Amino acid sequence: MDRSIRDKIFITALALLFVTTFIIGWLLLHQTVLFLPLAMTAGLLMLTQTIYYLEIKRELGQPHENYRQVEALFSMFSTLRLRHPLPQ
């Protein structure tokens, strides 16, 4: 999947926010802030998975693109010479 300019800016802003928060936290709380990167990383991973899920759901919801893929698979399937039925 290609990333748009908006996505690249968003990822850069999140990375800068991550680093800035960690540095400020280290200066204020010292070693207590070490759990913060772990919590932020877990949150970012969940956000990323949600975004990918929504993108895939949107792409699969477009029937004309799926139809072209199925049509291509049928043309490939027609070249096979099957002697036995496929298992269930």
- pLDDT tens for 19-64 read 888 888 888 888 878 787 788 788 888 988 998 888 888 877 766 6
How many Å apart are CA 3 and CA 65, to the nearest integer? 20
Give 80's pLDDT tier (boundaries 50, 70, 90): confident
Q: Which pLDDT value is given to residue 1?
A: 56
pLDDT of residue 46: 92
Q: Distance between CA 6 and CA 16 in Å, rounded? A: 15
Which pLDDT value is given to residue 50? Answer: 92
pTM beyond 0.85, yes or no:
no
For the residues 5-29, what does the mean pLDDT come to? 86
